[in-house]
């Protein structure tokens, strides 16, 4: 079905004449991603302060180290007797209450890097901290099992992040489906691509460019059609994240052939005036995610979606002198969806008595979390993608 | 032999204005001309604002020699002004690449800029490093390596200030071996550990001057790559340069940059590397060996390389001289296309090749000529960079790609070409790939034939809006 839709290309029909040859790889045997499941990754850019997100409300060290920034027990929204969530995240607390939320604490990696760029690189590529990889973990997932499916992973941005770049396959970056469609609609591209198609030489470097161009034209058309097919009628906040999650919901409801949706929110780099900035970002997150969950639930899709959040690092335990916090190390990750096998707090809260020069020690390698998402949700061979073996956790 | 190939690989592509002069020359004199135009010493850039200089250089007199001696406001001021100045340095270098006769030098400076990749938001240090790179770009690799290794930009980027006798930090020693000289597989972890001890005490002052801090130095005996002695940092660099592997490693990397990214015959690398080694690391000798070889012009190498964003953009500006209304739009372009000068992705530099291409970067590449020609908004914004912005700024504003384009050189070059042959003739000039078998008729159909000027301009724009133009 989906393939037929994919080839039915309307005004860009000419470009699709190129496609059958490139689509052959779809037929290749191997593991295919689990159908009808998608992963939505929300990247908190800038280093979110995890301790003020999932709050240890009975921890004296926390309040001692954060006399000004610590969120009081009575202000936090209680998740358990000892743990609260940021007061702006009421929608997430509701999801917690109905069993749609799980939290992993102290996720990180050995020898943490405090540069935003480098640490994000490490989270994107899933490389050891002293090695540089040119592909991302989700890009290698595309290589492993999404060849010939150029819409398998979408990033809602103008440019594509390392995380979605594989050796061969790459994700597709777009701001919105309509704009992508319009920017590729020049008849010239399609006509030229088509004319060249007849003499294409598989080995020539130019072939790669034509392939990418043809795939982009087809994808633009396909995504535009899909986004209108069952366009969400729910109300979302008029924010960047609200708009993106609404598009994602529409695509999910139209059974789009996409396994991974990727969005970013930021900047969480709160060296100064953290309270206001984190609150503003969490408001955007909370309102958009609440609308998203409600929308998908009422359309029977909440069980087919897993939302995962991460940040390149957490922040230091102690507040600084400017009403903010500086770059830290390990951090928590949140998971939302209707199909979680284990809910709530999945491991212990960070031990604030046992710090590494004022920073949290990581207890769980982020690649083990990736292995869990790959094996248990996306149906992929995690070892092949991560190039190292990690035993998946069983919360999904 | 193919003149476009030489000018694209050893420079940033042909200038329309000088194409006739070049192509009138016998092929044997192309390379000597290109080489000789780069022999003069470069003019160095100085964009560093007085405020930054005052903070970094003036404070020396007050006894404030380290960054921690600056107060918070001074640090913030330094960061802000550095960011602005770094943008100016970026734009200035782009101008140089576009207009300089010394095409070979600037192209090689870009190569070394990626080889000795350093992300450092301190403008003074970045400018000092660029000076080292441009000065030695065609000189001796040993001098270049020493200059870079002792630059404040590299010392601080690779954490050598933290490399002290009591607490060695191996970052610098590791990258020098892995990325700058030997390459993986030619040294052991023990070599890294021992070399790191030799580099202890290498540091820099606030004004960027190299200093050796004896009290931080581990003066004991070290064994590196089979040699034992009370080595200092310079001794380690000498040991690395004594290894033939270093010459081959550089030869291989340069071959990939200048000749072919994927087809790399090993015997050719050995031949180039060994001659480079025996010349005592003369970079020009290595370049001569490449440019004078028949294989440099072999069909498998011509048009086989995906232009980097910088090569693409500078090449376009050389083909069509233009005055940009908003020069800073070039920074957004670099960001959106994935190559910002002075911001390599990491110490390994830009990976290049097919890594430049994904759906969004390719579509933008194809749209640039049209956006420019019709003065449109550059409707993309790069991602934010928290290392630079410290959480302060949101995404940058929308920029307009607007330019006054000077079509006279193209009018002159094709003055004798009749309308119906224009697209073919122009393709031979604009594209580095062979033009036979290509659907030029489609391009022709989409041109504006209302006047000679319109035909010429739209033909050029169409030719640049193709996958073929992405290659050189």
The residue-averaged pLDDT of B241-256 equals: 98
* Bridge partners, residue B224, by sequence: B227
CA distance B413 to chain A (A): 26
Q: Name the domain count of chain A.
A: 1
**Based on C-alpha coordinates, what's the Rg of chain B?**
24
**Phi, psi values for residue B337, rounded to 5°:** -90, -10
Q: Which residues of B touch A268 (CB under 8 A)?
A: 391
Question: Of A350 and B345, which is predicted with more confidence?
Answer: A350
A8: pLDDT strictly greater than 60: no
- Chain B residue numbers with beta carbons less than 8 Å from the beta carbon of A134 are 351, 355
Confidence of residue A31 (pLDDT cuts 50, 70, 90): low
Q: How confident is the model at residue A15 (pLDDT cuts 50, 70, 90)?
A: very low
Average pLDDT over residues A299-326: 96
Residue A13: is its pLDDT beyond 50? no
Better-scored residue on pLDDT, A196 or B194: B194
- Tokens 């030695």 correspond to what residue? B136
What percent helix, strand, coil does chain B show, rounded to 5? 55, 5, 40
Q: How close are the terminal C-alpha atoms of chain A, in Å? A: 29
Higher pLDDT, B83 or B104: B104
Closest residue on chain A to B334 (Cα): A159
Average pLDDT over residues A108-136: 94
Distance of residue B149 Cα from the nearest chain A Cα, in angstroms: 19
pLDDT band for position A196 (cuts 50, 70, 90) = low
Name the most confidently modeled range: A128-137, B103-112, B372-381. B103-112
* Residue in B358, B363, B390 nearest the CB of A170: B358
Set of chain A residues whose Cβ sits within 8 Å of the Cβ of B361: 159-160
Q: What is the pLDDT of residue A11?
A: 31
pLDDT in tens, B172-183: 999 999 999 999
- Residues A232 and A125: beta-carbon distance below 8 Å: no
Region B273-299 average pLDDT: 97
Q: What is the pLDDT of residue A202?
A: 57
Instruction: Tell me the three-class secondary structure of B204-257, residue by residue.
Output: ECCCCCEEECHHHCCCCCEEECCEEECCCHHHHHHHHHCCHHHHHHHHHHHHHH
Higher confidence at residue B63 or residue B307?
B307
Q: Do A117 and B387 touch (CB under 8 A)?
A: yes
Q: CB of A315 within 8 A of CB of A272?
A: no
- Contact between A174 and B433 using a beta-carbon 8 Å cutoff: no
DSSP code of residue B471: B
**Cβ separation of A205 and B355 shorter than 8 Å?**
no
Structure token digits, residue A89: 């995240």
Question: What share of chain A in percent tops pLDDT 70?
Answer: 90
* Structural domain range at position A146: 2-386
| Span B243-262, average pLDDT | 97
pLDDT for B26: 96
> Concatenated DSSP letters for B317-369?
HHHS-EEES-TTHHHHHHHHHT--TT--SSTT----GGGG--HHHHHHHHHHH
What tens digit of pLDDT does each residue of B39-52 get?
Answer: 999 999 999 988 88
Residue A107 touches chain B, beta carbons under 8 Å: no
Instruction: Read off the CATH number of the domain in which A72 is found.
Output: 3.40.720.10
- Is A192 in the B-facing interface, judged by CB distances under 8 Å? yes
**Domain regions of chain B by residue span:** 3-36+243-297
Please check the confidence at residue B229 and state whether its pLDDT lies above 80.
yes
B442 band by pLDDT with thresholds 50, 70 and 90 = confident
* A to B CB pairs, distance under 8 Å: 138
Residue A345 lies in a domain: yes
Chain A residue closest to B389 (CA)? A269
Tokens found for residue B160: 């050598």
For residues A99 and A337, the answer to whether their CB atoms sit within 8 Å is no
Inspect the interface and report whether the beta carbons of A212 and B390 lie closer than 8 Å. no
What does the CA dihedral A93, A371, A136, A128 come to, rounded to 10 degrees?
Answer: 110
**pLDDT at A197 (0 to 100):** 60
Q: Which residues of B touch A212 (CB under 8 A)?
A: 357-359, 362
* Predicted pLDDT of residue B41: 94
Question: Which residues on chain B are in Cβ contact (under 8 Å) with A179?
Answer: 379
Nearest-CA neighbor of B254 among B451, B86, B110, B420? B110
The answer to whether residue B390 scores a pLDDT higher than 80 is: no
How would residue A14 be classed by pLDDT, with cut points 50, 70 and 90? very low
- CA distance, residue A343 to nearest chain B CA (Å): 33
- For an interface test with A, give the residue of B76, B167, B304, B386 to mutate (most A CBs within 10 A): B386
Contact A64, A256 (CB under 8 A): no
Q: What does the angle CA B417 – CA B422 – CA B423 come to, to the nearest 5 degrees?
A: 160
Q: Which residues numbered 138-157 in A keep a CB inside 8 Å of some CB on B?
A: 150, 157
> In the predicted model, what is the mean pLDDT of residues B149-164?
94
pLDDT band at residue B433 under the 50/70/90 scheme: confident
Q: Which among A15, A132, A185, A218 is the top mutation candidate for probing chain B, defined by the most B β-carbons within 10 Å of its own β-carbon?
A: A132
For residue A271, the chain B residues in CB contact (below 8 A) are 390-391
Residues of B in contact with A118 (CB under 8 A): 346
3-state helix, strand, coil in chain A (%, to 5): 40, 15, 45
Residue B122, min C-alpha distance to chain A (Å) = 15
Residue B290 has pLDDT above 90, yes or no: yes
Report the alpha-carbon distance of residue B266 to residue B260 in Å, rounded. 12
**Residue B133 CA: distances (Å) to CA of A162, B22, B38:** 28, 28, 14
Would you say B438 and A196 are in contact if contact means Cβ atoms under 8 Å apart? Answer: yes
> In the predicted model, is pLDDT for residue B321 greater than 60?
yes
Given its phi and psi angles, is residue B448 left (phi above 0), alpha (psi -120 to 50 degrees) or beta? beta
Contact A121 B346 (CB under 8 A): yes
Query: In DSSP terms, which residues pair with B342 in a beta bridge?
Result: none
How far, in whole angstroms, is CA A190 from its chain's centroid? 31
Does the beta-carbon distance from B433 to A160 stay under 8 Å? no
Residues of A in contact with B119 (CB under 8 A): 115, 117
The H or E element containing residue B90 is helix B72-99
Q: What is the ipTM of this complex?
A: 0.89
pLDDT band at B59 (very low <50, low <70, confident <90, very high): low
Mean pLDDT computed over every residue of chain A? 89
Q: Residue A15's closest CA among A197, A148, A204?
A: A197
| Chain CA centroid to CA B340, Å | 10
If you measure CA to CA, which chain B residue comes closest to A130? B171
CA distance A278 to chain B (A): 11
Phi, psi values for residue A56, rounded to 5°: -80, 90
Looking at residue B66, its pLDDT comes to 67
The answer to whether B217 and B200 are in contact (CB under 8 A) is: yes
The answer to whether residue A361 scores a pLDDT higher than 50 is yes
Nearest CA in chain A to B371: A183
- Chain B nearest-CA distance from A336, in A, is 26
Cα dihedral: B140, B144, B150, B152 (round 10): 150
Q: Between the CA of residue B385 and those of A84, A329, B339, B392, what are the distances in Å?
A: 31, 19, 14, 10
Average pLDDT of every residue of chain B: 92
- Round to whole Å and give the CA distance between B128 and B148: 9
Q: pLDDT digits over B119-154, tens only?
A: 888 999 999 999 999 999 999 999 999 999 999 999
In the block, tokens 């294409």 appear at A200
Task: Determine how β-strand A344-345 pairs with β-strand A101-108.
Answer: parallel
CA-wise closest residue to B281 among B148, B129, B145, B150: B145
Q: At what angle do helices B359-373 and B452-464 cross, to 10 degrees?
A: 170
Asked if the structure places residue A313 within a domain, the reply is yes
The string of DSSP letters for A15-28 reads HHTTHHHHHGGGGS
The predicted-structure confidence for A212-257, as pLDDT tens digits, reads as follows 988 899 999 999 999 999 999 999 999 999 999 999 999 999 999 9
For residue A206, give the nearest of B367, B433, B445 by CB distance: B433
In this prediction, residues B350-378 reach a mean pLDDT of 92
Task: Compute, in degrees rounded to 10, the torsion defined by CA atoms B128, B130, B134, B138.
Answer: 110
Q: Which of B343, B387, B82 is nearest to A46 (CA)?
A: B387
CB atoms B359 and A173 under 8 Å: yes
Is the predicted pLDDT of residue B392 greater than 70, yes or no? no
**How high is the pLDDT of residue A32?**
62
Residues of B in contact with A49 (CB under 8 A): none
């Amino acid at each position: 079905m989906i393939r037929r839709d994919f080839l039915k290309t309307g005004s860009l029909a000419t470009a699709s004449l190129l496609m059958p040859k490139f689509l052959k790889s779809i037929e290749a045997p191997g593991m295919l991603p689990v159908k009808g499941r998608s992963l939505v990754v929300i990247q908190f850019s800038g280093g979110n302060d995890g301790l003020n997100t999932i709050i240890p409300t009975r921890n004296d060290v926390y309040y001692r180290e954060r006399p000004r920034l610590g969120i009081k027990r009575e202000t936090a929204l209680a998740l358990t007797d000892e743990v609260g969530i940021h007061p702006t995240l009421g929608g997430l607390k509701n999801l917690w209450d109905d069993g749609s939320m799980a939290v992993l604490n102290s996720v990180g990696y050995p020898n943490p890097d405090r540069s935003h760029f480098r640490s994000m690189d490490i989270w994107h590529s899933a490389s050891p901290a002293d090695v540089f990889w040119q592909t991302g973990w989700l890009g290698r997932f595309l290589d492993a099992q999404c060849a010939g499916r150029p819409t398998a992973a979408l990033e809602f941005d103008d440019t594509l992040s390392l995380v979605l770049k594989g050796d061969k396959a790459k994700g597709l970056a777009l701001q919105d489906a309509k704009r992508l469609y319009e920017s590729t609609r020049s008849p010239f591209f399609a006509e030229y691509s088509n004319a060249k198609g007849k003499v294409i030489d598989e080995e020539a470097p130019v072939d790669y460019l034509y392939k990418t161009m043809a795939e982009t034209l087809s994808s633009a058309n396909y995504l535009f059609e899909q986004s209108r097919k069952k366009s969400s009628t729910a109300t979302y906040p008029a924010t960047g994240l609200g708009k993106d999650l609404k598009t994602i919901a529409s695509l999910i409801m139209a059974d789009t052939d996409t396994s991974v949706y990727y969005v970013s929110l930021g900047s969480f780099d709160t060296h100064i005036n953290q309270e206001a900035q984190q609150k503003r970002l969490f408001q955007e997150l909370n309102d958009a995610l609440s609308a998203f969950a409600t929308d998908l639930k009422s359309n029977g899709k909440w069980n087919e979606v897993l939302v995962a959040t991460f940040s390149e690092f957490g922040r230091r335990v102690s507040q600084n002198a400017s009403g903010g916090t500086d770059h830290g190390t390990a951090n928590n990750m949140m998971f939302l969806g209707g199909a979680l096998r284990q809910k709530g707090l999945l491991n212990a809260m960070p031990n604030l008595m046992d710090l590494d020069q004022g920073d949290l020690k990581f207890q769980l390698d982020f690649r083990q979390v990736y292995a869990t998402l790959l094996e248990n949700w996306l149906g992929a061979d995690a070892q092949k993608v991560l190039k190292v073996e990690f035993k998946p956790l069983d919360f999904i | 032999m193919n003149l476009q190939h030489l000018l694209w690989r050893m420079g940033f592509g042909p200038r329309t204005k000088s194409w006739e002069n070049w192509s009138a020359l016998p092929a044997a004199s192309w390379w000597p001309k290109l080489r000789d135009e780069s022999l003069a010493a470069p003019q160095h850039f100085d964009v560093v604002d007085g405020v930054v200089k005052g903070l970094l250089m003036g404070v020396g007199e007050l006894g404030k020699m380290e960054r921690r001696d600056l107060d918070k406001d001074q640090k913030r001021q330094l960061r802000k002004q550095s960011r602005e100045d770094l943008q100016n340095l970026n734009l200035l270098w782009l101008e140089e690449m576009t207009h300089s006769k010394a095409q070979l030098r600037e192209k090689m400076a870009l190569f070394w800029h990626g080889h000795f990749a350093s992300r450092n938001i301190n403008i003074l240090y970045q400018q000092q490093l660029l000076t080292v790179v441009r000065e030695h770009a065609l000189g001796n690799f040993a001098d270049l390596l020493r200059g870079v290794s002792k630059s404040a930009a590299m010392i601080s980027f690779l954490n050598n200030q933290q490399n002290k006798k009591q607490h060695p930090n191996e970052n610098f020693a590791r990258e020098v071996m892995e990325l700058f000289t030997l390459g993986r597989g030619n040294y052991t972890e023990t070599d890294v550990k021992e070399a790191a001890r030799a580099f202890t005490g290498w540091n820099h002052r606030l004004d960027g001057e190299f200093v050796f801090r004896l009290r931080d130095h581990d003066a004991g005996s070290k064994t590196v790559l089979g040699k034992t002695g009370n080595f200092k940092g310079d001794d380690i660099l000498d040991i690395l340069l004594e290894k033939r592997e270093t010459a081959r490693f550089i030869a291989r990397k340069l071959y990939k940059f200048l000749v072919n990214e994927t087809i790399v015959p090993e015997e050719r690398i050995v031949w180039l590397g060994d001659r480079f080694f025996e010349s005592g690391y003369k970079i020009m000798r290595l370049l001569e060996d490449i440019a004078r070889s028949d294989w440099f012009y072999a069909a498998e190498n011509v048009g086989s390389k995906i232009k980097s964003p910088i090569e693409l953009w500078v090449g376009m500006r050389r083909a069509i001289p233009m005055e940009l209304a908003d020069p800073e739009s070039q920074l957004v372009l670099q960001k959106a296309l994935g190559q910002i000068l002075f911001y390599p992705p990491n110490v390994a530099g830009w990976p290049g090749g097919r890594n430049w291409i994904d759906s969004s970067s390719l579509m933008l590449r194809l749209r640039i000529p049209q956006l420019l020609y019709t003065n449109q908004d550059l409707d993309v914004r790069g991602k934010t960079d928290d290392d630079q912005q410290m959480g302060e700024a949101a995404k940058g504003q929308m920029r307009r790609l607007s330019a006054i384009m000077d079509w006279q050189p193209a009018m002159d070059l094709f003055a004798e070409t009749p309308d119906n042959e224009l697209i073919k003739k122009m393709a031979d000039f604009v594209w580095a790939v062979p033009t036979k078998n290509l659907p030029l008729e489609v391009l022709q159909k989409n041109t504006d034939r209302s006047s000679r000027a319109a035909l010429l301009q739209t033909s050029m724009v169409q030719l640049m809006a193709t996958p073929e133009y992405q290659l050189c």
